[in-house]
Structure 1
Amino acid sequence: MKELEQNGCRIIYDPVLLAEQPQLCFDPDYWHQQGAVIGSARGRGTTWFLRGKQLELALRHYYRGGLFGKLVRDHYWFLGWEKTRSIAEFRLLQHLSEAGVRVPRPVAARVVRKQCVYQADLLTEKVPGATDLVAILQKTSLSKDVWHQVGQMIQLMHRSGVCHTDLNAHNILLDDKNQVWLIDFDKCHFDSGDGWQQNNLDRLHRSFVKEVEKAGIHWNEQAWQDLLQGYQQG
């Protein structure tokens, strides 16, 4: 990994995955000018999907949620470079990828510091041919083998010491080869001890129950038991 720092801006990036100039790659206008924008998704802000020279990418600017986010949209208190949202998520993804967990590879992270606050951006690999579980389960059910793979991937994440604080059905993807991916590690963290793993699983279970009522997904308690069996087998 390489680092650049100038005028309160720090960028870390992987030169193997990023062939573009790091200083330009966080600006959506740059990608529009290159004709390299291939899609977008709306959440708190817009995630841009891009065609990089090395691989397809996803660019995200960090925005606050909740009531406070309406007042202070995208600024955070600066408590050190490694504690900033984008660099922390970059490090987590790097660790998980090296541990064999199937996550988007981190490509670049930027932090722009202005006195005691900062803004942040993250550039990651766009998972090719992937769809989240809610969208898939709205159309069809999954086999026992796929549920086993979901459980195994979560168990591998836990074994690597990472607590996913927002593990839900939207943050688990299947690609066109039926491989399982985990995404959205903003505000997640390393942890040890016991209890947090079960909390992650409980949160995921509640997510499936909610999506049955909200989106009419093809899911039942047997599917959950299949997932848990894969988790326990590791």
Structure 2
Amino acid sequence: MSFESLAQGPRRLLFDPAAWSAPGFGVFDSGAEQSHGLQPFGGGRNSTLRWPRDGGADWVLRHYARGGLVGRLIRHRYLWLGLERTRAWRELRLLGWMRDHDLPVPRPIAAHVIRLGMVYEQHLVTERIASAEPLQRLLQTAPLPEAGWVLLGRCLRRFHDAGVRHADLNASNVMRDASGQFHLLDFDRGQRRDDHSFVPQVLARLLRSLHKQRARDPGFHFSEADWAALLDGHG
């Protein structure tokens, strides 16, 4: 994918001109939700908003936020180390590369960064995957057939064969659409790697999230047989 950039004072915008023909900075202003029709969407620590678009798929606007103890002190701000090293810039470029290689990720629309001296804040805009639900929500209501777990394993293998490392793979950022196909979200701190040594760690993180959810909710539909089917699909 080919991206273009805009500058306005301390702000920078990297965007896909094929998707956003008339980009602007106003939607990223504090309190802009009502004027742009933005609606709260999803969960997690990031401030995520659904952005309705006329004549096409909705977009999702994410305001990056820290978790843990640090997040209580500086929730939305990050140390400035240069524009190309900002998380939003890197995630947008990684998504663009993955789309070029036919990996099932959301279409990247734009990354917005505003520098505030030695720190910065950032947003990411992607296209919403239509009729898709997180794996976590699906498993709260019904079991996933064995074939579904195998398909998920094959999906993950595609990313790993391409050398893509997901930094926080969990049951919330694995999505399944209405046709039964899987997609991955949230590639903040994701990487392209030449080796595949990261694969066991990524899979272990997903397994921990599934065990954690099952411990919280006894009705959560996940078993060791399900995980075995995923590994069979992953190969």
* Counterpart pick for 2:61 among 59, 62, 74: 59
Identify which of 75, 78, 94 aligns with 1:92.
Answer: 94
- Counterpart amino acid of 1:118? Y
Pick closer, same or farther for the CA change 1:39–1:117 going to 2, 3 Å.
Answer: closer
Structure-2 change in CA distance of 1:50 and 1:20 (3 Å):
farther
User: What is the rounded CA distance, in whole Å, between the counterparts of 1:163 and 1:57 in structure 2?
Assistant: 24
Alignment of 1:144-155 (within 5 A): 144-155=146-157
* TM-fit CA distance, 1:6: 2.9
Residue segments in structure 1 that go unaligned for 5+ positions in a row: none
Alignment of 1:70-219 (within 5 A): 70-215=72-217, 216-219=219-222
Report the CA distance shift for 1:28/1:154 in structure 2 as closer, same or farther (over 3 A): farther
TM-score computed with the length of structure 2 as normaliser: 0.91
For residues 162 and 26 of structure 2, what CA distance do their matches in structure 1 show?
33
Instruction: Pick closer, same or farther for the CA change 1:185–1:122 going to 2, 3 Å.
Output: same
1:225 aligns with 2:228: yes
Counterpart-to-counterpart distance in 1, 2:123 and 2:60: 11
Q: What's the counterpart of residue 8 of structure 1?
A: 10
Amino acid at match of 1:48: L
Secondary structure of the equivalent of 1:217? coil
Q: Percent identity?
A: 34
How many residues align? The count is 231
Question: How far is 1:24 from its partner?
Answer: 2.5
The CA distance in 2 between the partners of 1:63 and 1:37, in whole Å, is: 18
* Greater Cα offset, 154-163 or 190-199: 190-199
**1:145 alignment partner, SS class:** helix
Q: In structure 2, what residue type is equivalent to 1:226?
A: A
Once the two structures are TM-superposed, the CA of residue 229 in structure 1 deviates from its matched residue by 1.3
Aligned partner letter, 1:148: V
Q: CA deviation at 1:29?
A: 4.5
Runs of 4+ in 1 over 4 A off after TM superposition: 28-31
CA distance in 2, matches of 1:128, 1:33: 24
Change (3 A) 1:40 1:163: same
Give the drift of 1:187. Answer: 1.7
In terms of mean alpha carbon deviation, does 1-10 or 13-22 score higher?
13-22
CA drift of 1:177 comes to 1.3
Give the gaps of 5 or more residues in structure 2.
none
Q: Deviations over 1:112-154 (max 9, x none)?
A: 1122211111111111111111111111111222112211111
User: Does structure 1 retain, via aligned residues, the 8 Å contact 2:163–2:196?
Assistant: no
Paired residues of 2:105 and 2:183 also in contact (CA < 8 A):
yes
